[in-house]
Amino acid sequence: MDTGLIAIAAGLAVGLTGLASGWAEKDIGSAAVGAMIEDDSLFGKGLILTVLPETIVIFGLVLGIMLMGQM
Amino acid sequence: MFGRKGNYPYAVARVRGKKRMLLKGEDYSKMMVMELPEISRFLGETNYQKEMAELGGRFEGVDLIEHATYRNMARNFRSVLDFTNGELHDMLAAYLTRWDHWNVKVILRGKSFGADMESIREDLVPAGNLSEEYLNSLCSMEMGDELFAELSRKLNAPLPPSAVEAYKQFGKLTSIEDYLDKLYYERLLDAIGTNTKPKRLFRAFIQREIDIINLETILMLKEEKAPPEVILNYFIEGGLQIDRKMATNLANAEDRKALAAELVKLDFYEEIKEALESEEKPLRNVMDALRLYQIRKTETLSYLYPLSVIPVFDYMFHKKLEVDNIRIIARGKVSGLDTDTLKRLLVI
């Protein structure tokens, strides 16, 4: 029973943070592309800003791995 | 009328990028000390490169600059319209119909003064819904019933017979122009809902613009000593702060002191106070102050509401300002104005 709940929790931690990252990156990504069309020197900045929300899913992944370690 | 949300992040990032590419204060300073051919060459190295190259064979001097700047502005506005979608696109499309009305007014004015087709086309900005081809076809029509009927059909609103009669009898276009202005704002306000924040922002923006136009009209007509009832004929309904009652009080104000006592109620009074009290050309100073206020206010709002239609307007205002400034410098150079006078005429 506990093993099953831990597995669900790990899945939720990765899945929900993945969705949250995607949601955040959607607007940043489209803004970055818009800015790059007008000035292509903004590519580096745009890329960095776009991947910043990726940290959310990394936290989720770390949490997921830690939870799996409890199984 | 407006459905779907719109691509705000993408559009706002693009217009901010476009705004960054506009001419800066130091560019104007450089242009003011240049001769006309040098200004043309300078513009050919900026965002106007494409238009200057396209039109370089057909026009020269100040005509080239005027054609190129308006064509560039129309292209930019149309491109903004093309890369937006959803309610953002719909709001911009509704807003840009102002250029249709502008173009119609330019054609009517040009025709009534007997200007040739080429000089009328010089001032057209095909940034609205009416295409360049259609506007050219209007230019080639004879001034009179045929043109009025075509305009009524295209705008889907019959021109008021009294306004047409006023033109036929006295050659005055003011009633038709006034009707077009009122029609634009009436339709625009009708089209904007209030159910979302962007729409409410857009509405407030338009209402503030109506206030400024009404105030400019009142001040201008008062300067020309027009009677209050004539002034009120030109009042556009729907403003944010100036309602008909306040407009009546302003129109009836006996002197500048009475005018100021009424204007103090406006939240932008501080912006125009100094200009209103100035001894030399107060009207021109007030107009400039109002224009600057509108631009600054839009700029501030564009930072407060970054994901709205306001940053797009902010860009459009600055673009229009840039084009006006370039034209002022070019015309000023032709007229032999000195740098100090030119500097005073520019709005930077």
Q: Is residue B170 part of a domain?
A: yes
- Domain membership of residue B277 (yes or no) is yes
Residue B2 lies in a domain: no
Question: Cβ contacts (< 8 Å) between B9 and chain A: which residues?
Answer: 27-28, 30-31, 34
Burial state string for B195-221 with b = 16 or more CB within 10 A and e = fewer than 16: eeebbebbbebbbbbbbbbbbebbbeb
The number of folded domains in chain A is 1
> Distances in Å between the alpha carbon of B348 and those of B21, B25, B27, B202?
15, 7, 11, 25
Domain presence at residue B3: no
**How many Cβ pairs closer than 8 A exist between chain A and B?**
37
Q: Which of B129, B82, B68 shows the shortest CA–CA distance to B104?
A: B129
* ipTM associated with this complex: 0.83
Residue B73 lies in a domain: yes
- Residuewise pLDDT in 10s, chain A (71 residues): 689 999 999 999 999 999 999 999 999 999 999 999 999 899 999 999 999 999 999 999 999 999 999 88
- Number of separate domains in chain B: 1
**Residues B197-255: tens digit of each pLDDT:** 878 888 998 999 999 999 999 988 888 888 988 889 889 998 999 999 999 998 888 87
Nearest Cα of chain A lies from the Cα of B123 at a distance, in angstroms, of: 28
- B144 close contact with A: CB closer than 8 A: no
Q: Which bin fits B102, alpha (ψ -120 to 50), beta or left (φ > 0)?
A: alpha
Residues in chain A: 71
Instruction: Tell me the CA distances in angstroms from B176 to A58, B182, B210, B333, one per residue in order.
Output: 64, 10, 18, 34
pLDDT at B1 over 60: no
Task: Give the domain CATH number at A7.
Answer: 1.20.20.10
Domain assignment of residue B1, yes or no? no
Domain span at A29: 2-69
Which one, of B142, B282, B299, lies nearest residue B223 by Cα?
B282
Q: Is residue B308, in this structure, part of any structural domain at all?
A: yes
Buried b (16+ CB within 10 A) or exposed e, B65-75: bbbbbbbbbbe
CA distance A49 to A32: 8
Whether B75 is covered by a domain: the verdict is yes
